[in-house]
């Protein structure tokens, strides 16, 4: 089996020792433990701690492997991280200017309907856009509830992850697949998988919410619909800016306007234009949306700041892990390459790595692995076309694993962190990193993903 990656990444992956992943492990443990052990210190100094792990990785990495390591890190920053954070910031700023007015009572039926709406929107406005649009109204509707931490957790499951499975606009891995030749509407092949996962999670949520709602007699404290006015939307112009962002993302997938090279890193001209359009849409949103709309929406910049800093460190420290994966059987993670054979293996391996690494490059790594294994003499685009024509189940498994398993940890997908921070700002006591995994992901998501494997990938 061959993992085919960039030439520089492939050669580095063959040389790197397994312990080069230690800074990434340290970064993950810091994210997991520091908020529990020293929450105030973490809140004030998480940027410094993140920079520490970046230095622990970058200094010996570049000292040992020279220009190859420097170019790999530069590629991660310029080609991966900066476009990622521009898109995230654009969606965050624009969605934060849309206010759902009126007060809703957080009943099980209303909450389930809001989760369903967000899940349906996620494939068309991105998981980040849908999450930022729907999380604040959901939190306001349940402000009177005592046991409510599970509500944003299920929101992360459904709106911030599973709902993005139907189009390349929904989740970054699918967009990268679109850029590699996967037809735009091919991802509707995941409709059955997404529908089943969504229905199960919505049913479990409704039963759980009904139990807690009755136990605490929450209807006695519910505010009901605001008697002074009906439900409505303020900041409607932001939907135009949101359409502009999604249009720019889609355009960058069809256009080919050459390359711009920065210190040896090639950036697509269409990608630069896309990022400039996104920045323009965000600026227009900030200029044309009334300050009181954002204030009433509880909009702050801290969730974006936290994600920007933490994911900068995550992107950089995870670089050795990805290049070792790209090296396949020639690298120190050869046991992974040897273990991945059928669709079920691809679903779980892509998923597990997507839970802790960024799911977009993980998706590309295992897409390259599948085409390299099954069509070793085909080019990248030809391999993708052959995979879709002859063995689409492999691509379904890789796509579903990358999207669905993003919900398994807080770091699986960037909107997860944002939802957690916004919820904590609203007074919700969210579970810690391991609490989220052991209390929710393992008992709820794991059985659902086993069922998906049995029904679709065996």
Inform me whether the pLDDT recorded for 229 exceeds 70. Answer: no
pLDDT confidence bin for 49, thresholds 50/70/90: very high
71 sits in which H/E element: helix 39-75
Beta-bridge partner residues of 266: 261
21 sits in which H/E element: none
pLDDT one-digit tens code per residue, 212-221: 888 876 555 5
Which pLDDT score, from 0 to 100, does residue 253 have?
80
Q: Which two tokens stand for residue 345?
A: 């293996």
- pTM (2 decimals)? 0.85
How deeply is 291 buried, as exposed, middle or buried, from its count of CB atoms within 10 A (0-12, 13-18, 19+)? exposed
Sign of the four-CA dihedral 48, 432, 198, 114: negative
pLDDT one-digit tens code per residue, 230-262: 678 888 999 999 999 989 988 888 888 998 988
CA 14/CA 31 separation, integer angstroms: 29
Show Cβ contacts of residue 266 under 8 Å, excluding neighbours closer than 6 positions: 79, 259, 260
Which pLDDT score, from 0 to 100, does residue 226 have?
42
pLDDT confidence bin for 3, thresholds 50/70/90: very low
Sign of the four-CA dihedral 423, 427, 428, 429: positive
Which of 206-210, 274-278, 356-360, 418-422 has the weakest average pLDDT?
356-360
For the residues 417-431, what does the mean pLDDT come to? 91
Residue identified by tokens 């909009």 is 299
Most confident range (mean pLDDT) of 197-206, 267-276, 362-371 is 197-206
Q: Which two tokens stand for residue 147?
A: 């046991």
pLDDT one-digit tens code per residue, 62-112: 999 989 899 989 988 998 889 888 988 998 899 889 888 777 778 899 999
Which pLDDT score, from 0 to 100, does residue 223 have?
56
DSSP state letter for 1: -
Q: Which of 352, 320, 342 is nearest to 5 (CA)?
A: 320
Which pLDDT score, from 0 to 100, does residue 368 have?
78
Alpha helices in 289-358 (DSSP H): 291-296, 302-317, 319-326, 334-339, 343-356
Half-sphere exposure of residue 175, counting CA atoms within 13 Å on the CB side? 24
pLDDT one-digit tens code per residue, 117-172: 999 999 988 898 899 889 999 998 898 888 899 999 999 999 999 999 998 888 88
pLDDT one-digit tens code per residue, 286-324: 999 999 999 888 888 988 999 899 989 988 998 888 788
Inform me whether the pLDDT recorded for 57 exceeds 90. Answer: yes
Query: Regarding predicted confidence, which is higher, 277 or 332?
Result: 277
Inform me whether the pLDDT recorded for 225 exceeds 90. Answer: no
CA 184/CA 166 separation, integer angstroms: 10
Residue ranges per structural domain of the chain: 7-102+169-184+228-457
pLDDT one-digit tens code per residue, 336-395: 777 778 899 999 999 998 898 778 778 877 887 787 777 776 666 788 888 898 999 999
Which pLDDT score, from 0 to 100, does residue 405 have?
95
Which pLDDT score, from 0 to 100, does residue 379 have?
65
Q: Which of 100, 92, 135 is nearest to 414 (CA)?
A: 92
């Amino acid at each position: 089996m061959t993992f085919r990656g960039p030439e520089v990444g492939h050669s580095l992956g063959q040389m790197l020792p397994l312990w080069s992943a230690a800074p990434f492990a340290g970064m993950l443990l810091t994210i997991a433990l520091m908020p529990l052990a020293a929450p105030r210190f973490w809140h004030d100094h998480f940027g410094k701690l993140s920079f520490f792990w970046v230095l622990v990785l970058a200094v010996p990495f570049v000292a040992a492997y020279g220009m190859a390591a420097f170019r790999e890190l530069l590629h991660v920053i310029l080609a991966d991280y900066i476009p990622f954070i521009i898109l995230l910031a654009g969606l965050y700023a624009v969605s934060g200017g849309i206010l759902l007015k009126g007060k809703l009572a957080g009943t099980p039926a209303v909450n389930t309907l809001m989760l369903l709406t967000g899940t349906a929107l996620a494939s068309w406005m991105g998981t980040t856009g849908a999450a930022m649009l729907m999380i604040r109204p959901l939190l306001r509707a349940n402000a009177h509830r005592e046991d409510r931490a599970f509500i944003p957790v299920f929101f992360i499951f459904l709106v911030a992850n599973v709902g993005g499975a139907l189009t390349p606009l929904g989740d970054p891995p699918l967009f990268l697949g679109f850029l590699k030749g996967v037809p735009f509407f091919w991802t509707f092949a995941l409709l059955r998988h997404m529908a089943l996962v969504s229905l199960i999670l919505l049913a479990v949520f409704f039963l759980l919410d009904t139990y807690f709602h009755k136990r605490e007699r929450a209807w006695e404290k519910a505010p009901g619909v605001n008697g002074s006015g009906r439900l409505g939307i303020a900041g409607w112009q932001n939907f135009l800016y949101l359409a502009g962002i999604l249009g720019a993302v889609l355009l960058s997938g069809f256009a080919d306007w050459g390359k711009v090279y920065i210190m040896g890193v090639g950036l697509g001209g269409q990608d630069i234009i896309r990022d400039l359009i996104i920045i323009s849409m965000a600026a227009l949103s900030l200029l044309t949306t009334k300050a009181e709309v954002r204030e009433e929406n509880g909009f702050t910049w801290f969730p974006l700041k936290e994600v920007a800093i933490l994911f900068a460190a995550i992107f950089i420290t995870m670089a050795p892990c990805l290049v070792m994966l790209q090296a396949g059987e020639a690298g120190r993670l050869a046991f992974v390459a040897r273990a991945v054979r059928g669709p079920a293996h691809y679903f779980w391996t892509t998923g597990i790595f997507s839970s802790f690494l960024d799911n977009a490059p993980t998706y590309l790594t295992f897409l390259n692995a599948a085409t390299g294994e099954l069509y070793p003499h085909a080019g990248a685009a030809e391999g993708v076309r052959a995979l879709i024509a002859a063995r689409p189940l492999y691509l379904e498994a890789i796509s579903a694993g990358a999207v669905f398993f993003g919900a398994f940890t807080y770091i699986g997908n960037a909107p997860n962190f944002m939802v957690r921070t916004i919820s904590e700002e609203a007074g919700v006591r969210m579970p810690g990193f391991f609490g989220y995994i052991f209390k929710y992901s393992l008992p709820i998501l794991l059985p659902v993903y086993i069922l998906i494997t049995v029904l679709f990938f065996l």
